[in-house]
A = this chain, B = another copy of it.
Amino acid sequence: MTFSDDDIVKLCKEHGLRLTGPRKVIMQVLAESEDHPDAVELHRRVTKISPGVALATVYRTLALLEEKGVLERHQFGDGRARFESADQEHHDHLINVETGDVIEFRSDEIERLQEEIARQHGFDIVSHKLEIYVKPRKKRRKKAT
């Protein structure tokens, strides 16, 4: 995540949230996550540090942080919602369908074209998401499968 371990106190104060034990751990785990964990995975990591924390608390905290604009919620093909820090430059995602890995990328060109399209239709963009589901390129040459 983009916010650091030290930002946690600041983040809570800033948004009028009480700095509770569970929140501290949840945000710490978020801060250390390089991937895009879903609520259940996050809960798994959190309870490794602090076994008492309920899944419901994780959900409530995630919802809260999203609402405050700290996190962004994504819905990649599978059912669950996945989260990442919102305070970074906007980017889109490549999802490797074979491994589930998520790769971030950014294309100013595409961003620009989107603006243009929205404008042409008489709209302003609120948000947008571009997900490219991919699989490793097969080198062809020699025998195929």
Residues of A within 8 A of B (CB): 75, 77, 94, 96-97, 103, 105, 107, 109-110, 113-114, 117-119, 121-138
Contact = CB atoms under 8 A, between A and B. Distances in A.
A131 to B, nearest CB: 5
Nearest to A98: B126
A interface, over-half SS: strand
A118 B135 CA distance: 9
Nearest to A118: B134
Q: How many copies does the complex hold?
A: 2
21 contacts: A97-B126, A105-B121, A109-B113, A110-B110, A114-B130, A117-B132, A118-B134, A122-B136, A122-B137, A123-B137, A124-B134, A125-B132, A125-B133, A125-B134, A126-B135, A128-B131, A128-B132, A129-B129, A129-B130, A130-B130, A130-B131
